[in-house]
Amino acid sequence: MDDPEFVADCRTRLGLDLLSGTWTGVVLWTLKDGPLRPRELQDRIGGISHKVLTETLRRLEHNGMVVRRRYAEAPPRVEYELTGPGRGMLEPLSALGRWTERYAADVLDAQERAAGEGALSGP
């Protein structure tokens, strides 16, 4: 008998896990046009703290989605650039963006209804 296939073992989970961070997709998308320094990334993204950006970049580097390049200059310069797998994530991010454009209002309406119903039912 063949080993059963478990949905929990689906490799698609890898992609979902990689994108699970709040800022991951935003950072990847911001790097789509080429390498950027951390400050440039932070300025283009807006609303992300230096700490969270650093953590996100480290996680992306750890997973092989971006490469960090350090230049021996004074002062030292660091840039981040998408790798092949990082570039490959742009297509699903674009599809997710199209989905969001189409369904965001529906999702937000459902969230408002659920919040209203929760407030009405009370303890």
Enter the pTM of the model: 0.82
For residue 75, the domain's CATH number is 1.10.10.10
4 band by pLDDT with thresholds 50, 70 and 90 = low
- The reply to whether 1 falls in a domain is no
22-42 per-position pLDDT tens digit: 999 999 999 999 999 999 999
| 2 within a domain of the structure (yes/no) | no
Q: Which residues constitute the domain of residue 37?
A: 7-121
Share of the chain above pLDDT 70, in %: 91
Number of structural domains found in the chain: 1
Element (H, E) at 97: helix 90-121
The reply to whether 41 falls in a domain is: yes
Is the C-alpha dihedral spanning 91, 92, 98, 100 positive or negative?
Answer: negative
